[in-house]
Structure 1
Amino acid sequence: DEKRLYSSMSLNTNVMDTWIVSYTQTLLDFVKQEMNAYRLYTVVPRLVKYIDMLTNWYVKLNKRRFKGETSMEDCLTSLNVLCYILLTMAKLMGPFTPFLAEYMYQILRKLMPQSSTTSEQDLSVHFQMMPQSQETLVNKTIERSVAAVQTVIGLGRTVRERKVVPMKYPLPEFVIIHKDASVLKDLESLEDFVREGLNVRKVTLSHDRELYGVEMRTEPNFPTLGKKCGAKVKSVTEKIRAMTDTDIEKLLSKGEGVSPLTVIDDVPIESEDVHIVYRVAKQTQYEATAEQGFVVLLDYTADASLNDEGLIREITSRIQKLRKEAKVKPTDDITIYYSVEPQTSEIARVASAQRGEIEVILQKPFRPLAEKDQSPVVIEKKLPVKDGEIEFVITRKS
């Protein structure tokens, strides 16, 4: 229950648990404030954002904990936090999505400790009072740090998409550049999450963009600038594009509340009037992008071992989807058999050479189809994988 969670959180050192619980308290304060002012239209977008934070960040980054791959104690802690979060979310969503909230609540209610003193108030989510935030569970420092992690991971994924490198394939290095040392220190404490979230081998933090040959240039934002400049638009555009790194640094050093950033030909220039573009000056292995004061560089070159690891993930992800399609339980005694055509393909080489690694990931036997026994077949399917086609056959011992 909530009281037990409040007492256990004081001993919980997991960063992501602390973050999602603190983020929940911030949400509770926001919902109370907005509903007291009858601004109900602002609450739903915030709830949608909260669901995104829960599913795409907290749950994704804690899958191993939920499965018990860390330790049983850590698994139970993470599941207790998740249960609290879902229960709180059901109560918050009650006025907006009454049937879904009730459905969630009735499932979660079965997981709650039962007592002989259960009141009628516990029978429905719509009998519950809105949960109140607990100030002792708020940790703004961790909320700020995780927000920074989300920003840089989002930028890294943008670069991956630009270079058409799927997330399954690990890359050598991800460089994060920011002029504020405190921001880099916050990121340093969560470096593992960045590494996992982007599937990179190494994360480098730096405040020196010149070390990596990153140059800046300014481009005019014509939709806003054109209205201001009128006949001066050509000369203002030329002067904006002619700005040096020193000029751009001066603009960036000014706070968000400073207006205007500068004046060119008697035209006040605001932050929305210019775009700052970052690029790597020399031909290197890095691809750059920037946002919110961060400049990130992704080394998109991969050696043979990293490519092999990507192919292993291609194989295991397809097997996991087949297991899900066949409704195979993790505890079922299954064996996965495979056959690859053509046998000269890269995927055939990896399937054979990396069988042991694949079995470690699947935690099930992975064998050539020629070794198949008489066990009943659960599912079989041929699937294209990179430069070949793999026939998968999953059997289950009766």
Structure 2
Amino acid sequence: MLSTLEEVALHQQNIERIELLGHLCPKLKILYLQNNLIGKIQSLHKLKDLQYLNLAVNNITKVQNLQRCESLQKLDLTLNFVPKAGLLSIPSLAGNYNLRELFLIGNPCTDWHAYRQYVTGKLPQLAKLDGQIIQRSERIAAAQVLASLEQQLLQELQAEGVDVAAAAGVEDDSSTPDGEVAETGFVDEAGELRRPWCPATRILEHREMGASCSSTCRPQRKTRQPFKQVPSAGALACCASFPPLPEDGRVLQRNEGKWDFTLEESEDGMSLVLDVAAGKYLDTSLIKADVQPRLARLIIKGRLLQLVLPVEVKPDASVARRSAASGHLVLTMPKEEPQQAAINVTYLRPGDKSAQTATVQPAVKAARSQQPYKQIKQQAAASTT
């Protein structure tokens, strides 16, 4: 499987060095390695079909070990750490005759005043540099001043104490050891640690953040206890059976389980239909129902749903059914007086922040007739007052 891969994305994986890709995936054409901690381009010399290599936002300081990637067409080294001395490694890409696009923007080497002319002169096969098309006139001008720019660059680097021979060396495909990274920062007068922005700083900060996370997160996982809700004494009583009704006859609405439900009239107007979303995978043995002439009560998973009905119903003729597809519990309650005016029960639908108890304030709906809409609205408003 790996040997036939043509595209691999390994971005944002905190990778510090490239290993095994050239051996395991020799057919790669596109390789994404951006936003890692890679400090050296290595182990890619066997990727003869590689066309696009993205190494943006890494710790690269030199362009090297890509001479044998003969199919390479696009190389992205945006936001790395290639210094001015790293420009001496740019000629190593001259043999990549298929290379058309190169991105070096965001590297320290781009601060050199003749950076674009130097790269254009050294890599005549390029069509774009940092996303900008290289014009023919620009290419000719760069070729004319290339010799003087090379001499000027070497003189500046020697004046800065840079080892020119080491900076220009690119034939080094040895793997970098996983050693300790030396501390790059210093403590200022305020006692705070200050670090320069460099490849070593990125690695140090990443390792410190990983160590901090492992020391703080793991104990929390061990000590964390599974959440277990302890019901109150009143709730425990409801789990066994329905609570007794108050002697004064004043019954309150209750929805302890916050169940979604609707209470509506049937299509023929002969019954009230209570539809409760009890859950598809809830066992029916956890549901109890109790219907009284003006009251419907359900215990679902130990939580009470208590509704005062707007009209009187027939408890003995009521039927409860459970949907096998959705798990909804449908309680059909025939009305005691089928010809009684229809009742608007939409106020019984629970809101997002409704209380568990609420008193009933039924609103009388206009009877089914051909009365004008305005008259029906006036009758409904009068009934609420």
TM-score by length of 1: 0.19
Pick the structure with greater CA Rg.
2
More helix by share: 1
TM-score by length of 2: 0.20
